[in-house]
Structure 1
């Protein structure tokens, strides 16, 4: 039988594989305009299709979290692999006009891909929350960084490997579906050794030998620097081992918990601005492109060698979003661990950084950007803020409300 460390390593590697293909909902701007032109959709229809993907990601989360908590992450990830393959395959066939070119059907296909991405993400997040008790922020931030980076990997493949959207969509279907399927085979929960607290009671007096004075709950010291046994000068002592159970808050209890309500409001206000930009950056680029000197029809058009193709511009900004989202996620994990373990700072403080970057990005987009050449600054700020937000929020959720019902709790948030 494999040791716990080997099993944990294999499980974590499978998590990394799954996370690399679980961010396809950030990729919509890379192919949205191609679908719009090919199938002659108007702006309302194409925005409906893009919104359907986000509805699949976010509205399905409480239900998916309940399924993961009760039926296991492996089954959910396997179902996600089938669903994401179905969604992108049907979208590719619709693009090639092998299926009816209905925008409602396209919205349904992307709804399926959104549900699949959400199911895969909650599967590996729940597994991490149950497998890691210490340095949980770092353990969660790395897969989340890869999830954010997946849009960059796919957009680069679109830019350099595929000349048409049809084969690109098929590539997403096969690569994402196969990776999730393989990862689900090794996605296991490895029980964490139970943590205990030691209470040393001196036997020098009758009162000290009585267990009546022992607190009903003794706080577990969770840092690795804490000695397992406290030094005691007494020659005789009694050691009482008391289990320390983590919080277990979920379901309707969240509605009566002030911390839960506060965290929900923070995520709604911050995440909404990021999702809005991510979904519409393709349209923003197209509008700015036609009034930019980079466009051939502009009276001050730049030389042909400097003209920028619209598809490459969209892929560039999707890549930029992905890279800085990845950077934010991977940096905030270790930072929040250090701040919590060494300076006793709450992880909620890290959300301030996310708010600052998202605010700066939206403010620049509103007041400063008038040309496509400056849009990259907005994309960078939004990507970094969004990455920080989703890098620290799952860890905060697991520590405030426990890992037993983490799947449902996080997906509610």
Structure 2
């Protein structure tokens, strides 16, 4: 919530005041947020049997602060990068910046596993320092570099090309006008569907892995199951990192070489989501789950790699961060809707006591020679969750249709590509 809800606020500050204020805020928020979580973890709950309401509220506040800070740093870096590079390479450079956001989970989890195995307190300290210090470094190094003025020949070619594509080449849409633009709702819908699918999978891949492992192993090993869960998180993170870089390269190639609008790249993104969901539906063993996780990570990273560039093409560069902040509400909506659906479906398949016969309940328990972590969670393999994946598969097909429409409409308008002369 801290990440997505703060987007418009940080975006407006970056657009009007530059990156310094968000970077200062990110430094203090990350340091205080993770240090607060570490302090509460070290102190524990004392003699109490449960966490008090006050402690829980402080914990939520600390987590919210880390979300605010992460978005502040990302907005500052992305905005500065977009304004420092020409349109021909803008998708690649912004994709490289966003790729670090995708790799962060794998990076810090690897550090914790290698240097601080089992030491959560030390890991939280690494998070506090490892995320806050880069913001301080960025405070002294990150600033937009003005683009060089084009030569007379280049300027003439640009003018001719701009005239051939119409007068709407460089829009400046923001504020109330943004909310009255159909393009805004189009990209928000595509983002909500695709990001919601990704967030649902990422948040629940542990449960998916656990269900598949329990189905195939009569003797449930909690340590081994945890390893499979961690492997999926790392796989998604690496795919996320790669997707943000690759889609930037593909987007610039589409724009500069094929002379097509970048919006067509949304078709690639939606197709990747469709393939990932199809793989996840068909996989019945935890050993093969990495294929669905890598594809999902690739699709999720590609989505967040291409959409900021499309926001620039559709609404202009002057208010990029603010506009992107509003578009970023889409994951908050889609992620919560699909995650709630997944949770309800998972709960519906959880084992329940047989109210008609206590004897049948005892027989059922005696036939389960495994130490499952919970009696109220489904461990029947893919049957626990496949219904949810079928819903997201259909949703992603709808997203593909919207993406094709967005690309073809942009081509007809001559927006984001060169018209044939």
Structure-2-length-normalised TM-score: 0.68
| Contact map agreement 2:7 2:322 (CA 8 A) in 1 | yes
Cα deviation for residue 110 of structure 1 reads 1.4
* CA distance 1:60–1:200, change in 2 (3 Å): closer
Q: Does 1:94 align with 2:40?
A: yes
- Deviation string, structure 1 residues 241-282 (Cα, Å, up to 9, x no partner): xx9983211111112222222111111111111112222223
- The residue aligned with 1:214 is none
**In the aligned structure 2, how far is the partner of 1:69 from the partner of 1:328?**
27
Structure with the higher helix share, 1 or 2: 2
1:333 — aligned with what?
248
Off by >6 Å, runs of 4+ in structure 1:
196-201
Per-residue CA deviation, residues 204-262 of structure 1 (Å, 9 max, x unaligned), is: xxxxxxxxxxxxx945569xxxxxxxxxxxxxxxxxxxx99832111111122222221
- Partner in structure 1 of residue 324 of structure 2: 410
TM-score (norm 1): 0.69
Matched, 1:69 2:69: no
- Structure 1 residues 244-283: aligned runs within 5 Å: 246-283=170-207
Partner of 1:158: 112
Q: Which moved more, 1:63-72 or 1:312-321?
A: 312-321
Give, in whole Å, the separation in 2 of the partners of 1:291 and 1:161: 33
The aligned residue for residue 348 of structure 2 is none
Matched, 1:351 2:266: yes
1:399 to 2:310 alignment = no
| Conserved 8 A contact 2:162-2:169 | no
**What CA distance in whole angstroms lies between the structure 1 residues aligned with 2:183 and 2:152?**
27
After superposition, residues 279-298 of structure 1 pair within 5 angstroms as 279-293=203-217, 297-298=219-220
For residue 363 of structure 1, report the CA deviation from its aligned partner. Answer: 3.6
- 1:146 equivalent in alignment to 2:92: no
- Counterpart residue number, 1:229: none
Using the alignment, how far apart are the partners of 1:199 and 1:184 within structure 2? 35
2:146 maps to 191
Paired residues in the alignment total 314
Q: Would you say 1:124 and 2:91 are equivalent positions?
A: no
Following superposition of structure 1 onto structure 2, how do residues 6-17 of structure 1 map, counting pairs within 5 Å? Answer: none
Instruction: Give the Cα–Cα distance (whole angstroms) in 1 for the partners of residues 198 and 234 of structure 2.
Output: 15
CA-CA distance at 1:194 after TM superposition:
4.1
> For residue 365 of structure 2, what is the aligned residue in structure 1?
none
- Counting only pairs closer than 5 Å after superposition, residues 22-37 of structure 1 correspond to structure 2 as none
The structural deviation recorded for 1:312 is 3.4
CA contact (8 A) 1:324 1:384 kept: yes
Structure 1: gaps of 5 or more residues: 1-54, 202-216, 223-242, 302-306
SS in 2 for 1:189: coil
C-alpha RMSD of matched pairs (Å): 2.9
Mapped to 1, the partners of 2:257 and 2:19 lie a distance apart of 33
Q: CA deviation at 1:337?
A: 0.6
- How far apart are the structure 1 equivalents of 2:259 and 2:313? 14
